[in-house]
Amino acid sequence: MGCRRGPQVIAIRQKAGGLKQMNDSRRKTAMRQTITVFKGDGIGPEITDAVIRVMDAAGAELDYEIYNVGEAEYEAHGELIPKAAFESMERNKVLLKSPITTPVGKGFRSLNVFLRKKYDLYANIRPAKSNHAVKTPFTDVDIVIFRENTEDLYVGVEEKVDENTVHATKLITRRASERIIRDAFEYARAHGRKKVTCVHKANILKISDGLFRDIFYEIREAYPEIKAEDKIVDNVCMQMVMNPQQFDVMVMPNLYGDMLSDLASGLIGGLGLLPSSNLGEEFAMFEAVHGSAPDIAGKGIANPTALLWSACMMLEHLGQMECAAKIRKSVDTVLEEGEFNTPDIGGNATTAEYVEEIIKRL
């Protein structure tokens, strides 16, 4: 575990959507904000160190409790997440997490899914916005995806009926659906957004996705100024790659949100540019949603942008708006000029060179 220090500040959590304000005592008392950091594995440690360097240089009013978690930690000490790391998260309420390797088809389940369920991080918010530095077929994508984070097929309940048959449970509840849909409308209202699209497969899953869709139209009655529409998920996939500009705020169950947020990242240049927040009524987790990229780990060429922009979402969540804005502006400038971009977005700079240039622009 490590710790870094900066000047003192009042830590404020901005109210986002229908989520409750958290940690009132900290909002009312001038005190330092300590966050928990999980370094993950693969490129995780590299991009975590890079992001902390930038936040420190920008004057973020933070202390850090830093832990190694994931596959490498399991191999070294027999635990995916050390007990002390859980205790830190439960004490600090805010987690910045870098990528963690998840075995495919065997081994432990996704730690991301585990953490979201353990701390009821029900609202996964992923904004996908075009950046002029990265050339794609579309230049004006600006979509915010609200993904319900705790149920659907991700409850992970599977049953082997016989040698050739497996049954998986899809769970949709009114409580979970209401809170994510309400948060999407509240976000749209707070940020001057004009439309919320509900994504579903209620033409086939008439009871489960039908419930989600029905609740969407119940809640929209409280937001008459915002256009509400619903679309079937397969049609949305086609529409997003033909005319993504038609979408504004989108809300959907867990599985569709996982898929469509990755699709949205492709419209703006890839997962290396997509930030993510996972919010609940008490806890918050901010993460890059791309993989741990073990093939480039240690080569010094990883792109920390997604985790850095996730850290900006965290700073805004904590009320450190000026610091977040400063970092965003610096990153945008470096990306747009292009001279110090990392290989995944068309440059040939190292992670260190990219970070140094961002810090210079602060």
pTM: 0.86
Assign domain 137-252 to a CATH class: alpha beta
pLDDT reported for residue 4: 33
Residues of the chain with pLDDT under 50: 1-18, 20-31, 104-108
The full set of domain ranges for the chain reads 32-126+269-361, 137-252
pLDDT reported for residue 279: 97
Fold match, 32-126+269-361 / 137-252: no
pLDDT reported for residue 101: 77
Task: Considering the candidates 39, 93, 97, 201, report the single residue annotated as catalytic.
Answer: 201
pLDDT reported for residue 18: 45
Task: Considering the candidates 152, 183, 209, 258, report the single residue annotated as catalytic.
Answer: 258
> Is 354 noted as a catalytic residue in this protein?
no
Task: Considering the candidates 135, 206, 234, 329, report the single residue annotated as catalytic.
Answer: 234
| The pair of three-digit structure tokens given for residue 143, joined into one six-digit string | 């979509």
Task: Considering the candidates 64, 67, 122, 154, report the single residue annotated as catalytic.
Answer: 154
Which pLDDT tens digit goes with each residue over 162-199? 999 999 999 999 999 999 999 999 999 999 999 999 99
> Is 119 noted as a catalytic residue in this protein?
no
Burial of 293 (0-12, 13-18, 19+ CB in 10 A): buried
* Residue from 93, 116, 47 nearest 290 by CA: 47
Assign domain 32-126+269-361 to a CATH class: alpha beta
> Is 201 noted as a catalytic residue in this protein?
yes
- The three state secondary structure string of the chain is CCCCCCCCCCCCCCCCCCCCCCCHHHHHCCCCEEEEEECCCCCHHHHHHHHHHHHHHCCCCEEEEEECCCHHHHHHHCCCCCHHHHHHHHHHCEEEECCCCCCCCCCCCCHHHHHHHHCCCCEEEEEEECCCCCCCCCCCCEEEEEEECCCEHHHCCEEEEECCEEEECCECCHHHHHHHHHHHHHHHHHCCCCEEEEEECCCCCCCHHHHHHHHHHHHHCCCCCCEEEEEEHHHHHHHHHHCHHHCCEEEECHHHHHHHHHHHHHHHCCHHHCCCEEECCCCEEEECCCCCCCCCCCCCCCCCHHHHHHHHHHHHHCCCHHHHHHHHHHHHHHHHHCCCCCHHHCCCCCHHHHHHHHHHHC
